[in-house]
Amino acid sequence: MIIGRVIGNLVATQKHPSYQNKKLLLVKPIDLEGREDKEAIIAVDTVDAGIGDKVLVMSEGNSTTEELGFAKRQPLRSIVIAVIDEIYSGQPEKGKGQLKE
């Protein structure tokens, strides 16, 4: 799972049936200092996340299929599976310490 920040909402009319009634979020992977990756991931929201939230993105097709209640594997990979309250990281000598929002 990777840590990301929700940067947007995505709306689509023409889409694969498995995406029907799913809320899609645009999530940028971030590192511990909050620096964003170049490419955003599109993920189905399962935890009612909003723009600006720090979230956990899980990208594994079988897990996603189960989590969303499909009987059969679907062309869906990434879901937002948790909203992160806090990240604790040791190694204060590297200037990481406890991350604060």
Partner 1 sequence: MELARVEGHVVATAKSNRLEGYKLLLVQLLEPDLRESGKYFVALDTVGAGEGEVVIIVRGSSARQSEKLSNVPTDTSIVAIVDSLVMNGKTLFKKHHQETREKAK
Partner 2 sequence: MRLGKVIGTVWASVKDPKLEGTTLYVMQPVNERHEALGMPVIAVDTVGAREGDLIYWVGGGDATVPFADRTIPSDVTIVGIVDHLKLEAGP
Looking at the Cβ atoms of 40 and 54, the one nearer to partner 1 is 54
Gap between the Cα atoms of 41 and 72, Å rounded:
23
Please pick, from the candidates 49, 54, 58, 77, the single residue that binds partner 2 as defined by CB under 8 A. Answer: 77
Alpha-carbon distance of 1 to 55, in angstroms, equals: 10
41 binds partner 2 (CB under 8 A): yes
What residues line the site for partner 2 (CB under 8 A)?
7-16, 18-19, 24, 26, 38-43, 51-52, 61, 64, 72-78
